[in-house]
Every structure is written in structure tokens, then in C-alpha cells.
Structure 1
Amino acid sequence: MQIPGFDYQRVPATDDVSLNVAVGGSGDPIVLLHGFPQTHLMWRHVAADLAGDHTVICPDLRGYGDSDKPADTGRTYAKRTMAADVVAVARALGFSRFALAGHDRGALVAIRAGLDHPEAVTRLASLDVLPTLDMWDVLRGVTASVAFHLYLMAQPPGLPETMIAAAPDAFFGHFLDLWTRDPAAIPPDVRAEYLRASREAVPSIVADYRASATVDIADDEESRADGATLRIPVTVLQQDWGAALGYDATALWRPWAPDLAHVTVTCGHFMAEEAPTEVIKHLRSMLA
């Protein structure tokens, strides 16, 4: 499936990894990064609107969708590595500076891009995720059961891949169902595409999550120790997890993002599909 009106191309991110990228519109660039268990298609409503006056770049992250899925060698799916992909792809398309928005896993990549490449990222939006260190800190006790997949995919290579590959549609479909308040937001053809893409990417998806329990933590701890912050305007759109998990989301975000706009959005996790009008409004406010 494709976003109507967008052009598709394979863009090199490194010498041996290329990403599947949809590009539409013209004007100042914004890169949109998808989450789990999705592809760039999750941005179809938002991308179509923003393309009216921006160049909109929607890649499949490495390891997802129709992008390359290299074997993991330890840092292959580190957010630092995936963030470098994004910067390289934007430059290959002619943009040395761009706005960046990410959802879920894509937001973690966006955060790392903002920390590592302040010369490239002009402003940043994060949809429904916490920075990696804070995410692990707030998950405790029985409430951590909502994130069982984080612990499963953090295990050493072998068991997680075998278990998930045994029933991939049941596994990935569980999250599409559980995290969606409005099932109509993900129609059958889009759901089928997400499941198809995820079935073909089990090892790389697991490697992405495993990185967030290993090398991503080390990178974030280093950034925190160095006092690194996102020195750009940051917009965070988030469900009200804090009430359920017992934390103040704005307080957790503030040390990372001094120039912060934190907004609570009432919808399911897949907000770009369930509440595209609200997401568009806040992204346009950020871009303005």
C-alpha cells in the first residue's frame, strides 16, 4: 500500500542499508517516523495534509516495512544508528535541516536524532512515548504488565524470535487491537499491511526492542550524565498514562526538553490515525 499522491523511492542510509521512503508535497521539510507495529502508512492522513505546504518525508525505519533489515550485530538497531539513517536520508533528498516528528519507536529515534544531530533537526514532536530511561523507570509492579512485550523482546536472541514467529498475526494484532480505542481508525486493508510487514520483520523488530534494553540505555545514560538536552522546540502529544502509572509526564520530559509544549490527547495510542485532526493542529502549530 502507498500514500496517495506520494512518490516512492529507495534511499541509501548507509553503504549497505536503504530505506523505503515516501515523499510528497513541497516547501520546508518535515520527516515523519512511524511506530510499532506499523509502517510509514500510519501517517497517511497527517502526511496528506502537511504536504499542502511542506515537503513530507515518510520512511519505513530500518528493520520495518519495506526497508532493509540487516542482521543485528549489537548496535545495528540502536536508536543512535537509526537516527543517523534519518539524517542521511534527508540529506540524500536534498535537506540538511528538517523538522521531525515520531510516534512510539519512531519518537525514540527522533529524540536521539535531536540529541545527536542538533545541526539537522530544527524542531521535534514526540507522539505517545517517554524517553527510554524514563520509560523503564516508571514501569514497576503489576502496572508493568501493560508493557510485557518490552520485557519479552529484551531477552537474549532466540526465544523471543521463536515465540513471536510461531504466531505473528496474533502477537502483532494484539497491540493493534488493545491500543486502539476506535477500531475503524485502522481499516482492514491497512491492518493487513501492518501484519504482513511485521511477519516479515520479526528478527529486526525484536532487535529494535532489545536495543532499548541495552545499548539505548547506555547512550541515554551518557547523554544525561553530559547534561545533553534537546536544544530545539519540542512538542509532546501523549495519552494520560501518568494517572494510571503514577508519574508526572511533563516533569519527566522537562529535563530533556527545556523548550517544551506538553499536550494530553484523548484517544488511543495510534493517535495519528485515531485523532489526525488534532495531531495535524499541533504539528502545524509547532511548524509555525
Structure 2
Amino acid sequence: MFSGFKKETITVEDQGFGKAEIVCRHGGKGEPLLLLHGNPMSHITWHKIVDDLKDKFYVVASDLRGYGESIGPEEGGDNHINYSFRAMANDQISLMKKLGFDEFKLVGHDRGARTSHRMCLDFPEKIKKVGIFDIMPNRHIWTVQKKNWAMSKWHWLLMMQPYDLPEKLLSSVPAKYYMEKKLSKRGATLEFCKETFDEYVRCFNYKTIRASCEDYRASPSCDLDHDNEDFEKNNKIKCPIFVLWGNRSDTGKVWGDVLDVWQNYSDQQVQGEGLDCGHYLQEEQPKKVLEWFKKFL
């Protein structure tokens, strides 16, 4: 995986969110492109598409703070701010700056897509184009509740509970068992991640569990506060945007009005489509994802 890429651990600027050491792989040629993964994965989720991108882009695939091999602060801070999307966005801006890039194109999946959304709002001058994979806006989720969403998103409702209930529950079962249940629940078999499954299991240790629970606690608290503030100020995504989702994922099955909703959060015309897959687009439908990369980026 990631042939020709350099693996590196970079200490990013604190910016008031606690120290973080971000693990990434980077390589290729051309203009910079940052790829961000989701929960409970790591940057290797992009392994099926990076070889086709590295001749046109200088690709940076990064672990979010606390995920994969990255390390974030032990404490979540007031209102879980140290694991907010704002904290994660600051990490990635700092990472790209240290790699020599002041502006770049950006694609995120799941939690990485939420971080990407926040980067577009907080650093509009840095993001040239953005791709959002298989999510609805965080504010939309918490203001337009649906029963089927709550039933499917059991991990959201579990992980947002106060410390240390979810940490103890998640660490009390084998990581392999949890990963099998988590990765197969969104319209997919585990066939899609047969090359990456063991690595996801390896990285699902207490460090990652602690960080990801703080991440999910931030979502309905400080993240929602930040989102409401931007929405009230009419601060929207300013760069060109495309949105992809899986027709068999929660985004496709529960919500259904994906592009219309995202249009409320963007100044640009939102492009995109649903793909014939579940939640993990880049591993389930890499060829279709690459078509959109080449068409849009």
C-alpha cells in the first residue's frame, strides 16, 4: 500500500486545543490534495485510489488526532473542545503548512468530511475545492432527527455518553469483534476492507477509543455551537463542492435529500450523486470515486 509515499509523524501547532502528533503518508506530483478518513478507520482507507492520484496530485493522507496512529491530548477539554472538528481542522491546516502548502484541495469521508466542512468555514482562503463523502451536515443531523437514523447510529448515541461509560464498554470487547459489527452495519459486507481490516483492528486501542468518544461528545456540544453560529451568520462553503454518498448507507436510505440539504450550507452549486454501495465509498466503489476525482478536482 502507498508505494512511493513517505510515512511521517508531524507535531502540529497547539492553537489552544492541546498537543497532537499527526501521522500521515505523502507523495506524488502536482498540486496538493489532502485526504481525511472517518471513524473507526485511518488514512489507509484511501489505499485503493492513491496510486491513480499520485501522478496528478501531491497526495497527503492523514490520520485525524487520536485516530489511527495519531496521538491527541488525553483530556477533551471544556465542552470536549480538544476533539472538536475545529481542533481537527486546525491540525490539518498546520500539517499542510509544515509540508509546504498554504492552499490545497480537500476530500473527506465521514468524520474526515465533517472536519473538511469545518476547514471550509474556518479557512476559506486555504481550500480550493472540497469533496464530502457520505454525511449530512452536523447541524442538520441534530436539528432534524429521524427515528431510523437513531436506530442505525447506535455508536453515536453510545459514544457521546459521559466519560468513562463508553470507553469501558468499547474496550471490554475484543477490537476484532467490535470492528466486525461496526464496519458491516452500513449496507456492506467486510469484503470491501479485507486488505485493511487487520490494520483497523490493530489501531483500535484505548488511545483511539478515548479520542473517538471525545470526538462524538463534541459533535452535539461545541461542534453544534460552532455550526449554529456559522449558520446564523450565513457563513457557508465558498469553494466548489461535490458530495458523494452510498445509496445503501444511512445517508442514502434515511435522509434521501442529500444535495438539497448541502445546498443550504454552500454558496456554490453542489454537485454529486449516490453510488451503488454502503458507507465506505472509497473502499467499496474506488473506480466510481476516481471518476469523480478526475471530473471535479
- TM-score (normalizing by structure 1): 0.94
- Whether the 8 Å CA contact 1:169–1:199 is kept in 2: the answer is no
CA distance in 2, matches of 1:55, 1:278: 21
- Whether the 8 Å CA contact 2:28–2:55 is kept in 1: the answer is yes
CA distance in 1, matches of 2:187, 2:67: 20
Give the aligned partner of residue 258 of structure 2.
Answer: 249
The residue type paired with residue 285 of structure 1 is K
Deviation at 1:143, TM superposition (A): 4.3
The residue type paired with residue 175 of structure 1 is K
Deviation at 1:206, TM superposition (A): 0.7
Are 1:70 and 2:76 matched, yes or no?
no
Could you list the structure 1 runs, at least 4 aligned residues long, displaced by more than 6 angstroms after superposition. none
RMSD between aligned residues: 1.6
CA distance in 2, matches of 1:238, 1:273: 13
Q: 2:276 aligns with which of 262, 266, 280?
A: 266
Give the aligned partner of residue 238 of structure 1.
Answer: 245
Are 1:36 and 2:45 matched, yes or no?
no
SS at match of 2:294: helix
SS at match of 2:184: helix
CA deviations on 1:46-98 (whole Å, 9 max, x unpaired) are 22211111100011110101111311212111001100111110010000000
Q: Within 5 Å, give how 1:120-269 maps onto structure 2.
A: 120-167=126-173, 168-179=175-186, 181-187=188-194, 189-200=195-206, 201-240=208-247, 241=250, 244-259=253-268, 260-269=270-279
- Whether the 8 Å CA contact 2:135–2:251 is kept in 1: the answer is no
Deviation at 1:258, TM superposition (A): 3.1
CA distance in 2, matches of 1:261, 1:147: 26
Q: 1:114 aligns with which of 110, 114, 120?
A: 120
Give the aligned partner of residue 286 of structure 2.
Answer: 276
Deviation at 1:262, TM superposition (A): 2.4
Give the aligned partner of residue 12 of structure 2.
Answer: 13
Distance 1:142 1:266, change over 3 A: closer
Structure 1 window deviating more from structure 2 (138-147 vs 26-35): it is: 138-147
CA distance in 1, matches of 2:275, 2:148: 25
Report percent identity of matched pairs.
Answer: 29
The residue type paired with residue 104 of structure 1 is D
Distance 1:87 1:143, change over 3 A: closer
Q: What are structure 1's unaligned runs of at least 5 residues?
A: none
Q: 2:60 aligns with which of 34, 57, 62?
A: 57
CA distance in 1, matches of 2:149, 2:277: 20
Structure 1 window deviating more from structure 2 (92-101 vs 190-199): it is: 190-199
CA distance in 2, matches of 1:82, 1:242: 23
The residue type paired with residue 151 of structure 2 is S
SS at match of 1:45: coil
CA distance in 2, matches of 1:44, 1:280: 12
The residue type paired with residue 13 of structure 2 is T
Q: What are structure 2's unaligned runs of at least 5 residues?
A: none
CA distance in 1, matches of 2:149, 2:285: 26
The residue type paired with residue 166 of structure 1 is S
